[in-house]
Structure 1
């Protein structure tokens, strides 16, 4: 079976159910779902006045910011190896 085959998964984020499709494993999807929900719960604790949309936007922003930092780290490591 090819790794590019899209599989469908049902996930729950902040009380809402979604069906997503992608090549990832069920374990990968479950871990991502759990991490997103943990971040949302943290935001609810530190600022309960945030709306669901504001929480979602902050989680998305943090994910992209983390991705940028990881990419910079990969590039630095790649440059060190050369």
Structure 2
């Protein structure tokens, strides 16, 4: 991957500015950052005593949990589809 293929996007997440470098479109990166920011603010609203590091870890844990559940569901759907094809 060359530097020409990478984009550099500055986003704000939970009051902090981050520069994200990658190959995704700027709109995709902004959407991801917005979703992370929203999730962190949801967790913070329910747990006002937590500092930002703990909020970030809980956001990561919740996001990976959601990812694994979705991955499991996709695998189930793929199995069902394969049965229908067979």
Q: Provide the TM-score with structure 2 as the length reference.
A: 0.83
> Structure 1-normalised TM-score?
0.87
Name the structure where helix makes up a greater proportion of residues: 2
Aligned equivalent of 1:74: 74
User: Which has the larger Rg?
Assistant: 2
- 5+ residue gaps, structure 1, are none
Structure 2 CA distance, aligned partners of 1:45 and 1:71?
A: 28
Aligned residues: 78
What is the aligned-residue RMSD (CA, Å)?
1.0
- The Cα offsets for residues 31-73 of structure 1, whole Å up to 9 and x where unpaired, read as 1111111111112211110010000000001111111011111
